[in-house]
Amino acid sequence: MRFDSTLALLWGEDDKPVGRTGLTIADFIAAAIAILDEHGAAGLSMRAVAARLGVRTMATYTFGNKEELVALAVDRIYRDLYPGGEQLEGLDWRRGLTAVAHANRDLGLAHPWLYELQVVRSLMGPCELQKRDHELVPLESTPLADAEKDQVLTQLLLHVEGMTRMETMLRRERDATGLDDSQWWQAIMPTLMPVVDRRRFPLSSRVGLAAQAARQGRFWGEEAFEFGLDRLLDGIGVLIDRRRAMDHLA
């Protein structure tokens, strides 16, 4: 992990030619993102990047390795999250956080590979910092402590990530196998039925069937996301109300 060189790349100029190919770092980033959008994280290889740019493989190693290219691509994606930058001003905290959640979900749905390549730590790139700065705006009007704002935002983003990851994975599997949810059920039922004793699993079979019936063949995702978001915002609201009551007493 060469933190400094990655950071220098993230914060440096990316529109000057590097090497003899005339290509800029921005070109490499654009190629990587295009491949990721088309073929997912598994389709991103240095050979593929080189081929798309019309150069040989080793020309992609001029400024860094794959890990750094991925970091650049991820940070680059965050740049388009709040283009104007002012959409979150003037909303109450609940509407603001709802907008934040939806923006991140839309981004995840547009670029499913965001959740396939496992980015561990915050990359501290310029676009990501900018993004987080915007996302903290709705919490400024709340009586939460700064450390609590950090935790609330982190949890919100983790919720979006979890739901969106699950949804994109399901969607990718559906596309790969050609089976939607009910078709999948019909495919496994013949194998599952004779071997599963439903009396061993009374709750999960009853609840599972009810959940499937309530879904009515619709794709898992949208509703689960909204339901969870409501629960989460309700919980955050409880904390905010408690802090307000404390402030009122003091």
Residues that bind DNA (CB under 7 A): 18-21, 44-48, 55-59, 61-62, 65-67
Which of the residues 105 through 144 are near a second copy (CB under 8 A)? 116, 118, 120-121, 124, 126, 129-130, 132-133, 136-137, 140
Which of the residues 146 through 175 are near a second copy (CB under 8 A)? 146-152, 154-155, 158-159, 161-163, 166, 169-170, 172-173
Q: Which does 183 bind (CB under 5 to 8 A by kind): DNA, a second copy, none?
A: none
- Please tell me the distance from the alpha carbon of residue 243 to that of residue 27, in angstroms, as a whole number: 49
Question: Is 113:44 a contact under the CB 8 Å cutoff?
Answer: yes
Q: Is 24 helix (H, G, I), strand (E, B) or coil?
A: strand
The Cα-based distances of 106 to 20, 61, 77, 96, 140 in angstroms read 38, 32, 12, 15, 24
Q: In 3D, which of 95, 97, 102, 112 has the Cα closest to residue 225?
A: 102
Is the CB of 54 or the CB of 67 nearer to a second copy?
A: 67
Is the CB of 44 or the CB of 71 nearer to DNA?
A: 44
Is the CB of 110 or the CB of 187 nearer to a second copy?
A: 187
Which of the residues 202 through 231 are near a second copy (CB under 8 A)? 202-204, 206-208, 210-211, 213-215, 224, 227-228, 230-231
Question: Is 108:129 a contact under the CB 8 Å cutoff?
Answer: no
